[in-house]
Amino acid sequence: MRERRRPTIAAAAALAALALAGCGGAAATGGTTSARAAAKGSVSVLYAGSLEDFMEEDLGPAFTKATGFGFEGFGGGSEELVAQVKGGVRRGDVFLSAAPSADGELQGASNGGWVSWYSTFAVSALVLGYNPHTDIGRELARGVPWYEAITRKGVLVGRTDPKLDPKGRLTVEAIDAAAGRLHDSALTKALKGFPVFPETALVGRLQSGQLDAGFFYAVEAAAAKFPTVSLAPVERYARYTISILERQTDSSGSEAFVRYLLSPRRADSLKRSGLVAIKPQFHGRTSSVPAGLRNDVGAG
């Protein structure tokens, strides 16, 4: 899966400030924040692609403004990011995944020892997003059950690869569970025909009209502003985690980022983005959690 990197406004401003300094130019508005970020360095954050809008438009710029550290984000499927870290293709300071299992794949000597601990911080429901201008979209808007609508002949429903993305696995689990509960084998059959796309491309496919519907997290739907329906009678959720990668380049910046995200003050920001904040909970080798971080965030 192809990852997407999108520099934040704050990072772009920092570069502009450096250019002005080299030419002897005066600082523009916001130059103080940019200069602070340039002086303190940047934190490289690898994050689940479903968090792209939240990270790039909300959390990243807010973190820079509040702490003076720069922010550089890289988004992709959690499992693919894991593979890239283990393969030496991608380096980062902080890792945000959409499932604790991704952190587990970076723990232990056999996995490179990249993660020794992680903390949960939010959940987001798996939903069916749809194009309201299609036949299936109009049916869903009228209240036709999702499990009936997606089995219609010719309906194009997108999903992600369960081997690369936790959302892909949750989609398979949700459909299998619904098929069993409803005694509807048509759901299982339909699943096999749903095309698979990279996580960072699925939203665009729906928005461009290439898909009638797709399986997304509520956080993605909120950012893209398309309608959704729940997957009742089944429920599945992304469980987001954060950890500091071993051998990170800037421990002070990494700790500041984790502390900032896990602060209770982020609850409103998470909610606006379609995420539900949960009390931070450390897992793994908790003795490796930086001194003071546990007390600062009030994690259990």
Q: Considering only CA atoms, which of 105, 121, 137 is closest in space to residue 212?
A: 137
Give me the residue label for tokens 């059950």: 145
- Stronger pLDDT, 4 or 48, i.e. the higher one: 48
Q: Considering only CA atoms, which of 88, 86, 85 is closest in space to residue 45?
A: 85
Residue 1 lies in a domain: no
- Where b means 16+ CB within 10 Å and e means fewer, 165-191 reads bbbbbbbbebbebbbeeeebeebeebb
Tell which of 187, 210, 237 closes a domain: 237
Residue 91 lies in a domain: yes
Answer yes or no: do 13 and 107 share one domain: yes
Over residues 225-263, the pLDDT tens digits come to 999 999 999 999 999 999 999 987 667 899 999 999 999
Residue 271 lies in a domain: yes
Q: What is the pTM of this model?
A: 0.81
Answer yes or no: do 131 and 224 share one domain: yes
Residue 3 lies in a domain: no
The number of domains in the chain is 2
CATH number, domain of 157, equals 3.40.190.10
Answer yes or no: do 100 and 39 share one domain: yes
Whether the upstream peptide bond of residue 7 has omega within 30° of 0, thus cis, is no
CB burial class (10 A; 0-12, 13-18, 19+) of residue 85?
buried
Q: What is the Cα–Cα distance from 276 to 95, expressed in whole angstroms?
A: 19
- Is it the case that residue 67 has pLDDT exceeding 80? yes
Answer yes or no: do 118 and 247 share one domain: yes
Domain span at 173: 125-237
Answer yes or no: do 65 and 213 share one domain: no
Confidence of residue 13 (pLDDT cuts 50, 70, 90): very low
For residue 177, the model assigns a pLDDT of 97
Q: Considering only CA atoms, which of 72, 54, 76, 74 is closest in space to residue 64?
A: 72
Answer yes or no: do 166 and 98 share one domain: no
Residue 270 lies in a domain: yes
Over residues 179-206, the pLDDT tens digits come to 999 999 999 999 999 999 988 889 999 9
Residue 87 lies in a domain: yes
Residue 201 lies in a domain: yes
Residue 199 lies in a domain: yes
- As given in the structure block, the two tokens for residue 178 are 């619904």
- What is the overall mean pLDDT for the chain? 86
- As given in the structure block, the two tokens for residue 242 are 């954060």
Answer yes or no: do 136 and 222 share one domain: yes
Q: Which residues contact 137 (CB under 8 A, 6 or more apart)?
A: 130, 131, 212, 213, 227
Answer yes or no: do 17 and 65 share one domain: yes
Answer yes or no: do 190 and 208 share one domain: yes
